[in-house]
């Protein structure tokens, strides 16, 4: 079994400060926005232990680390809406969310360490870091902020759309989510450009059309 890698602060030290770590959450789901965070660590000695790639942490641990990151960092959060995802595609929408996150920082960074291999269009320097959320401390912190922020947004959506279970799967394509899509049709918060959502709309529309035919009174 591969042991979790502890992210370190070495990549940040290679650049003149301030240096921001940037990551996103929510590229894969069928519903909800894509959310990005940018984090400039200001008091590294005060950061709690346990900061990792958000995918390696439980929901409870992420929620505990979230306010601690804000307490010793400059943080910016940005998002791209479902409409923007459908118009731009998920890759370009993710780049837009990252740009908005960096722009939302109270201090402009000289360098942004970005998770992945595609640089967003930023006004500062950009270094892409493959598997950055596992290697770089500020990117790992950004991954936690982005994930917690997005999960909270999906839980808010669940209050208004309780039939879809957003609070459980956060919009990802679980079996229960796909079944709810077919049964109830997509909401305004579903990504219409994603194939499972398009297919569910066609199935839903066909089912309603068939139901309408069944209720027609064919008089002689």
Any domain includes 5: no
Q: Which residues are CB-neighbours of 162 under 8 A, at least 6 positions away?
A: none
Per-residue pLDDT tens digits for 198-211: 999 888 766 655 55
Say if residue 35 is in the same domain as residue 54: yes
Say if residue 135 is in the same domain as residue 188: no
Residue-level pLDDT at 156? 98
Burial class (CB in 10 A: 0-12, 13-18, 19+), 149: buried
Any domain includes 70: yes
CA distances from 120 to 25, 44, 95, 108 (A): 15, 26, 5, 15
Say if residue 74 is in the same domain as residue 132: yes
Domain count, the chain: 2
Q: Would you say 118 and 91 are in contact if contact means Cβ atoms under 8 Å apart?
A: yes
- Reported pTM: 0.91
Per-residue pLDDT tens digits for 63-81: 999 999 999 999 999 999 9
Say if residue 54 is in the same domain as residue 15: yes
Residue-level pLDDT at 84? 98
Any domain includes 92: yes
HSE-up (13 A, CA, CB side) for residue 116: 15
Any domain includes 107: yes
Say if residue 106 is in the same domain as residue 87: yes
Say if residue 30 is in the same domain as residue 135: yes
Say if residue 97 is in the same domain as residue 194: no
Say if residue 146 is in the same domain as residue 179: no
Residue-level pLDDT at 97? 98
Any domain includes 218: no
199 CB neighbour count, 10 Å cutoff: 13
Per-residue pLDDT tens digits for 123-163: 999 999 999 999 999 999 999 999 999 999 999 999 999 99
Longest CA–CA span in the chain (Å) reads 84
CA dihedral 68, 90, 152, 192 (to 10 degrees): 180
Domain end call among 145, 160, 175? 160
pLDDT reading at 3 higher than 80: no
Torsion sign over Cα 145, 148, 149, 150: positive
Residue-level pLDDT at 24? 98
Say if residue 144 is in the same domain as residue 204: no
- Going by DSSP bridges, is the β-strand pair 19-25/125-129 parallel, antiparallel, or unpaired? unpaired
Say if residue 155 is in the same domain as residue 185: no
Any domain includes 153: yes
Range of the domain at 197: 166-213
């Amino acid at each position: 079994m591969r042991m979790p890698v502890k992210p370190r602060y070495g990549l940040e030290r290679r650049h003149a400060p301030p240096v921001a770590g940037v990551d996103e959450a929510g590229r894969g789901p069928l519903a909800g926005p894509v959310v990005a965070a940018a984090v400039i660590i200001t008091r590294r000695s005060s950061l709690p232990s346990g900061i990792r790639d958000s995918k390696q942490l439980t929901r409870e641990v992420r929620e505990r680390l979230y306010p601690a990151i804000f307490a010793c960092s400059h943080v910016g959060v940005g998002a791209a809406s479902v409409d923007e995802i459908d118009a731009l595609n998920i890759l370009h929408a993710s780049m837009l969310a990252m740009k908005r996150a960096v722009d939302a920082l109270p201090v402009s960074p000289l360098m942004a360490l970005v998770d992945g291999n595609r640089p967003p269009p930023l006004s500062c320097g950009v270094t892409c870091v493959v598997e950055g959320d596992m290697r770089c401390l500020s990117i790992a912190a950004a991954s936690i902020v982005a994930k917690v922020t997005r999960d909270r947004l999906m839980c808010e959506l669940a209050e208004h759309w309780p039939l879809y279970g957003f609070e459980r799967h956060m919009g990802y394509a679980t079996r229960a989510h796909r079944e709810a899509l077919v049964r109830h049709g997509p909401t305004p918060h579903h990504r219409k450009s994603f194939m499972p959502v398009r297919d569910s709309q066609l199935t839903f529309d066909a089912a309603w059309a068939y139901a309408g035919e069944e209720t027609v009174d064919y008089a002689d």
